[in-house]
Amino acid sequence: MSSRILRTSLLLVVPCLLACLTAQTPLSLDVVGGTMAGRLSLDLAPGLYPFETCFILTGITAGPTPLALLDPSDPRSVSVGTSTLSNSFFGFLGIDGHFRVGPFAIPSLPALVDAGFFFQGITFPGTQTFVDRISNPAAIRMGTLGTFRDRGVYLTFDRAFATVLSRADRRWLVTGGGRGALLAQVATSATEIYDDVTDAFLPGPPMVAPRSIHTMTELRDGRTLFVGGVDNLNDPQASCEIYNPATDTFTAIAPMISPRAGHTATLLPDGRVFVAGGLANITVLPSAVYAIFDTTSTTEIYNPANNTWTAGPNMRTPRAGQAAILRPDGRVLLAGGVSFDDFIILRLPAVRNTTEIYNPATNTTSVGPSMVTAHSLVDPVPLGSDRYLIPGGISALSLASPGTSSTACEVYNALANTFTAVGSMATARVNQRSFPLDSSRFICVGGGNGTLLAPIALATSEIFDAVTSTWSPGPALTVPRAAPAMFRSSRGQVHFIGGGTANGAIATSSEFHFSF
C-alpha cells in the first residue's frame, strides 16, 4: 500500500517539479559567427535533465512563426521564419547541460555579404504544450574578414562619447553621449537598444539625467554605475545613477562631492569605485582652452553597499583625461592627463608625463614612474600579461597651441611598474577606439588629429603588433569617427556607433568590423 502511494506521489510531484524548473530556468542560445571566411558555432544550454530533447531552429528570415503550426494549443511564437525540421539541428542537452553544434567553416562568398541567418532553440515535450522552453533569438549578418561594413543601421539620435552596456536579454544598450557638434555638445538622457534580430536601434529606458563624457563602471553585483559627465548645458555635474539589468531601469543615487567630466572611475578589488580628477567646470571665455584651468586634483570613492561617497586623497597634480589602470596588486595607476602649472600670478596649461599610484588600503597616493611622453585623452589598451599600450593622445598644450595630437606610443608593464617606448603610429590620433584582433595584434580605429579645439575626425586605423612593437596600416572605416561608442558582440563583430565625423558634425550611422 505504501509503495503504491509513493508511486502515485511521484507521478504527481515530478511533473510539478519539471514545470517549476521550466519556469525558473531560461534556455540560452549562444551563436558565434558571421565572418567570411570564418566559423559558425552554436551552443544551447542549460538542460533540466540529462538528454533533454531539443532543436536549434534556423532560418534565412526572422519570424514571428506561430507555434500553433505545431501545437494548436500553444499561443507562443518563435523569432525564426522559413524554418523547417530539415534545416534545423536536432539533439539532446547532454550531461553538462549543453547541446553544441559546430564549428562549421563559413566560405568567403561575395553573394553572402549582408545576408542574415536567424537561430532559436527549443526543448520538448512540455507538460502543457509540445514545445517546452524557448531560448533567446539570435542572428548573424555576413561580412568579409578584416573589413568595416556600414549596413545602413542608424541611431535615432546623433551621439559622441556615448557608452554601451550588455543587457540581460543579450541586446546592447547605448547610453548618453552628446548631440550637436563635437565641441559644443548637448548631452542626452535617451538610450537606444541595438537588436541583432531586427538589425535596428529601438528606444530604451531613459537615464535619470542627460550625460556625456561620463564614466560607466560595472559593479560586482551586475548593476552599472554612471558617474558625472556634462549635462545638456555642457556643464560638469555631480549627479550619478545606476542601471539595474533585473528591472531594466535607471535610478538616481547619491551625488558626488564634486561635479566632474572627463574623469576616471576604477572598480577596486573590494567593490568600491575610485573616481579621480576631471573638469569641475568648463570655462569658455576668453577661450575654450581656459577650461583646462578647471581641472581638479580631487578624488572620491563610491561605496555601493551603502550608497555613499567619501573624499579620497588629492592627487599630486590636477588631471583630466588621464589614463587609469588597475594594477595586479589592487592599486590604481593614474597617468598623464591635461593639467596646469601656477607661476605666481600666471597659469599655464600642460599635459603631464607624470603618474601617481592610489593605494586603497591606506587611502593615499604616491609618486609613480614617469611616462616616456606626455599623454592625455587616450584609453589604455590591455595587451595581456599586465601590459598596457598607451597610443597617441594629446601630448602638448599651451594657450597659443590648444592641444597637439601625438603619434608617440609606449607600453606600461604593471608588474615591473615601468614605461617603455614602442613604435609610433603613422597618424596622430586622440579619442580613438581599440580592440584586440587576436592574442598579439591590436587595432586602433578612428579618433581625431589636429588640435584639442579643432579636431579632424579620422577614418583610418592602424594595427599594433605586440610581438614586434610595430604598427601597420589597418582597414578604413566607412566614415570618419572620433569618440564613437563601441561594443564587441558575442557573435564576433565589433560595432562602432556614432562619433564625431566630418566638419565637426556627430554621426547617427553605425558600422561593423568583422573580426573572427
Question: What is the full DSSP assignment across 190-241?
Answer: -EEEEETTTTEEEE-PPPSS--BS-EEEE-TTS-EEEE--B-TTS-BB--EE
Q: Are 259 and 277 in contact (CB under 8 A)?
A: no
Strands 418-422 and 510-514, sheet pairing: unpaired
Q: Is the pLDDT of residue 505 over 90?
A: no
Mean pLDDT of 440-455: 88
Q: What is the pLDDT of residue 84?
A: 63
pLDDT value, residue 63: 84
- Supply the pLDDT for residue 18: 46
Could you give the dihedral angle defined by the CA atoms of residues 6, 12, 18 and 24, in that order, rounded to the nearest 10 degrees?
-110
Place of cell 563601441: 486
Q: Does domain 22-144 have CATH number 2.20.130.20?
A: yes
Q: What is the mean pLDDT of the chain?
A: 90
Q: Is the pLDDT of residue 507 over 90?
A: yes
Q: CATH 2.120.10.80 residue ranges in the chain?
A: 148-514
- Our measurement of the distance from residue 168's CA atom to the centroid of its chain's CA atoms, rounded to an integer in Å, reads 14
Average of pLDDT values for 240-266?
Answer: 97
d(CA 393, CA 407): 8
Burial of 95 from C-beta contacts in 10 A (0-12 / 13-18 / 19+): exposed
The model carries a pTM of 0.91
Strand pairing of 273-276 and 264-267? antiparallel
pLDDT at 17: 44
Predicted local confidence at residue 12, as pLDDT? 40
Domain with CATH 2.20.130.20 in the chain: 22-144
Q: Please give the share of the chain, as a percent, with pLDDT higher than 70.
A: 94
| Beta carbons of 191 and 240 less than 8 angstroms apart | no
Tell me the three cell numbers of residue 147. 573589413
Classify domain 148-514 at the CATH topology level: Neuraminidase (2.120.10)
pLDDT of 463-503, one tens digit each? 999 999 999 999 999 999 999 999 998 888 999 999 999 88
Cell of 453: 579645439
Task: Note the pLDDT tens digit of each residue in 369-416.
Answer: 999 999 999 999 999 999 999 999 998 887 776 778 899 999 999 999
In one-letter notation, the amino acid at residue 411 is V
Q: Output the nine-digit C-alpha cell for 412.
A: 606600461
